[in-house]
Structure 1
Amino acid sequence: MYDSILNHPNSLFGQFERLRRELDDAFGVSGFPTSIRSVASGTVPAVNVGRTPSSMEIYAFAPGLDASKTEVTLERGVLRISGERVAGIPANDPKVQVYARERGSGSFARAISLPDDIDPSQVNATYRDGVLHVSIARHESAQPKRITVQ
């Protein structure tokens, strides 16, 4: 339905979409949404943060990253994830005509505040199938303990 609205010659949204494409072509801009119905493209990966009784678990969804160029640091209870996502389509190839560019590219950085009960000496980070997983152990004193009632 939306495609027919955007592609209809008399549609106001279609006219805005054509104008946006013309401006992108004229100024070489690729960081804007690729259509009026898209969300803004960004280079910041989405994250999920959770905890288990023994650890904090952080998942950053960032397909196409080079793990060796991704930096993960933990300092004063703040986890920082930074890196760069390269564009999937060559930018300066005259043979390539881009119709849509929804995947953001460029440098990114995330900062996630963590609770005080983490153990910064026990951190593990892995990157697999486009997901960066960071696991940080919680101090043993912060883990729940079962108390026997007598």
Structure 2
Amino acid sequence: MKTNGNAWAPAIELKSTDTDVILRAELPGIDAKDLDIQVSREAVSIKGEYKTESKTEDKEHQIYRSEFRYGSFQRVIPLPVAVENEQVKADFKDGILTLTMPRVEAERPKVVKVNVGGTLPGETGSSNS
């Protein structure tokens, strides 16, 4: 459904850690059973539907104004790095969907200890005189 002529999609937050990409989406008032979430290595697709509370017209409860959003929505979010899409963990609580997606091993930043001065950690200088 459209609101004021504009298509609607949920607000998201996308962040990254050294090991995971975390996507959070605001989906207040929607049931988990009304969501279709698909994750590829490069993107996340979230489809869903906000359903009206009443399926039939009720003349006793005529709506004069409603700013609620009803109907279908879809949002595709490109990911900044490749993820292990078969290891995604999902949590849906208080209208917030959280997807924790492990980065592909090759995409994880590697930290390497750099030796300054030619000695290895734990070594003292050379004792040759």
Structure-2-length-normalised TM-score: 0.75
Which residue of the other structure, out of 96, 113, 121, is the alignment partner of 2:86?
Answer: 121
Amino acid corresponding to residue 83 of structure 1 in structure 2: G
Amino acid corresponding to residue 65 of structure 1 in structure 2: I
Which residue of the other structure, out of 12, 16, 32, is the alignment partner of 1:51?
Answer: 16
Using the TM superposition, give the Cα deviation of residue 31 of structure 1 relative to its aligned residue in structure 2, in angstroms.
4.6
CA RMSD of aligned residues (A): 2.3
Structure 1 residues 146, 31: closer, same or farther in 2, change over 3 A? closer
Name which structure has the greater RCO, CA cutoff 8 Å, separation 6+: 2
In the other structure, the counterpart of 2:74 is: 109
Using the TM superposition, give the Cα deviation of residue 100 of structure 1 relative to its aligned residue in structure 2, in angstroms.
2.8
* Paired residue secondary structure (2:48): strand
* Paired residue secondary structure (1:148): coil
Amino acid corresponding to residue 139 of structure 1 in structure 2: V
1:9-24 map, 5 Å: none
Distance 1:146 1:56 in 2: 18
Distance 1:125 1:53 in 2: 19
**1:122–1:137 Cα contact (<8 Å) kept:** yes
Distance 1:142 1:75 in 2: 15
Identical-residue share of aligned pairs (%): 30
In the other structure, the counterpart of 2:96 is: 131
Which residue of the other structure, out of 45, 69, 82, is the alignment partner of 1:80?
Answer: 45
Unaligned runs of 5+ in 1: 1-29, 34-39
Structure 1 residues 88, 41: closer, same or farther in 2, change over 3 A? farther
**1:41–1:104 Cα contact (<8 Å) kept:** no
Which entry has the higher C-alpha Rg, 1 or 2?
2
**Larger helix fraction of residues:** 1
Structure-1-length-normalised TM-score: 0.66
Using the TM superposition, give the Cα deviation of residue 116 of structure 1 relative to its aligned residue in structure 2, in angstroms.
3.9
Unaligned runs of 5+ in 2: 116-129
